[in-house]
Amino acid sequence: MAALTPLVVGPAARPRAAAAARGPASPSGQPAGSLRGALLVARAGASYATEWEMYRAECSFHQLHMQRTLQIMQQLSREFRGEWHTYTAEAAVAAGAAHLRSPAAEAAETGTVWRRKKMAKAVVQPAADGTPIVGDIFDDAMRPGGYHPVTVGERFNEGRYTALYKLGQGHYATVWMVLDGHTGQELAMKIVRSADAYTAAARTEVSILEHIRDSAAGTGHTGAQHCVRLMDTFTHTGPHGTHVCEVFEAMGDDLLTLLKEYNFRGIPLAVVKHLTRQTLSALDYLHRTCNIIHTDLKPENVMLTEPLRPRGGHSFAQPPAELDMVGLEPRLLQMGAKVVDFGCGCWTDRQFSEEVQTRQYRAPEVILGAGYDDAADIWSLGCMVFELVTGDLLFHPEARPGQWNEDEDHLAQMMEALQPMPREVATSGKWSANYFTHDGRLRNTMRSLQPMPLDWVLHQRHQLPSEEALALRDFLLPMLNFNPRKRASAAQMLQHPWLAQ
């Protein structure tokens, strides 16, 4: 390697030049690759008029890739949040609906899946709109009982629907944008895995969706238009079995994606109120008219009626189109929102599982095994509104081996943010004795409580003005009452003054 001419570099470049000068050589006698890079960077720095220009030169090539990597990492971390709890709820629904498996067999199966999912690394597949889609690396998802291997242009339901591009996938199904040959509309089609348990769960979901759709006639309830609408359902037989397919109106992005666009720093209050009114209207319709409990309300399961960015035709290798953040708020205030994904839903008088709701949005009565009703959805909404405003989870329990488990931390976090849990609630469940003494105190004394009232958290930690923090606290507390019988209903929350401010 030819000798480099002496360089005169500024302070920012000197550490790299010094490291290269004293660093070890590679077996070939030349500096190691990383050190050659440092030498070249230092040498290039001499030709720049300022060190700031040198810094920009170093970063310019990698900046785009770093941003893309960050987006992917955020999606991976957020989309796997609580996935195990969602999976167990789905499996329990299927087991309860089909009566196919014993509890012991189900526990063995779900435990195996969880261990494999923990070991699995996620892969990112390109969607047509450039959105990363998280998938399982295990090939056994593409086998008899698993996903249907859709190809672009494939036709479904006697040729009526043509697959255009993939929208996403989850443990339960893949979702594709399809063209309806009868109407010319683009619609979203969910293709459920073909195993018996998933088929049984899908048929239950279809019955719930049909009831939601058909109950709207004659009621005049505006909440019906804020629930996703099932357009068609049929079965499709492929190499991996027979799959239940559900066709829906095409939707936009979910509220978790919207949170990402705001860098998890919270969505403008006016938009949060707009979205919350629509979600409450949907819940009031579900609870009072349809007698349905969603059981898995969270930002991922509320979708905008329009995409934030144009769909289709974008390469994954290219960054997504820049979003006009200045004009976004007015756009959002004109958009509708709908509650989606009733795969874990149930009837108020016919429930399929005791353990429901994604962990961070789970109501205390579910943790304690005290039974649940539609008030559990209201608790989840309270958690979700806090998240939309702040960009942060209200409760994010974590186990600490040898000290406390996830449920103990979750209950403790609830009591830190709200108040001591009333004794009659703390001791009301069949699992209460695992967590509380007979007089309602936490049994695990290693998990000491550090009270952090909601208004303090909103004002001090999330920098909301004091008046706004107090107003939001007053809106959240009725939804986060420990006693489900005293928790506000969706109809009552729709009358709360915070929504009209």
Query: Domain 67-76+253-500 is of which CATH architecture?
Result: Orthogonal Bundle (1.10)
Identify the active-site residue in 284, 296, 341, 377.
296
Residue 139 has pLDDT above 60, yes or no: no
pLDDT of residue 263: 95
Answer for the pair 431, 395: CB distance below 8 angstroms, yes or no: no
Domains of the chain, by residue range, sit at: 67-76+253-500
CB 188 within 8 A of CB 251: yes
Decide if 296 is catalytic. yes
pLDDT of residue 501: 83
Q: What sign has the CA pseudo-torsion 6, 12, 17, 22? A: positive
Q: Report the C-alpha gap between 76 and 165 in whole angstroms.
A: 21
In order, the DSSP letters of 57-104 are HHHHHHHHHHHHHHHHHHHHHHHTTTHHHHHHHHHHHHHHHH--S-HH
The answer to whether residue 470 scores a pLDDT higher than 60 is yes
Secondary structure (DSSP) of 191-204: EE--SHHHHHHHHH
**Dist CA 461 CA 475 (whole Å):** 18
More confident residue, 107 or 396: 396
Beta-strand runs (E) in 335-411: 337-339, 346-347
For the annotated binding site for ATP, the residues are: 190
Residue 18 scores a pLDDT above 90:
no
Token pair for 355: 């353990």
> Can you tell me whether residue 173 is helix, strand or coil?
strand
* Known binding positions: 190
Is the confidence at residue 65, as pLDDT, over 50?
no
Say what the pLDDT of residue 112 is: 34
Query: Would you state the structure tokens that stand for residue 454, as one six-digit string?
Result: 């909601």
Higher pLDDT, 94 or 435: 435
Average pLDDT, stretch 361-371?
Answer: 98
Per-residue pLDDT for 270 more than 90?
yes
Handedness of CA 373, 362, 267, 70 (dihedral sign): negative
**Which one is predicted more confidently, 426 or 89?**
426
The helices-and-strands tally (H runs, E runs) of the chain is 17, 12
How is residue 121 written in tokens?
């690394």
Give dist(CA 382, CA 480) in Å, integer: 6
- How many Cβ atoms from other residues are within 10 Å of residue 356's Cβ? 27
pLDDT tens sequence across 440-457: 999 998 999 999 999 999
- The Cα 38–Cα 32 span in angstroms is 10
Check whether 137 has a pLDDT greater than 60: no
Q: Which of 11-20, 63-72, 378-387, 449-458 is predicted with the least confidence, judged by mean pLDDT?
A: 11-20
| Cα within 13 Å of Cα(493), Cβ side | 31
pLDDT range class, residue 311, cuts 50, 70, 90: confident
- pLDDT recorded at residue 319: 64
- The residue-averaged pLDDT of 450-466 equals 96
**What is the percentage of the chain residues whose pLDDT exceeds 90?**
64
For the chain, the average pLDDT equals 80
- Residue for token digits 């944008």? 177
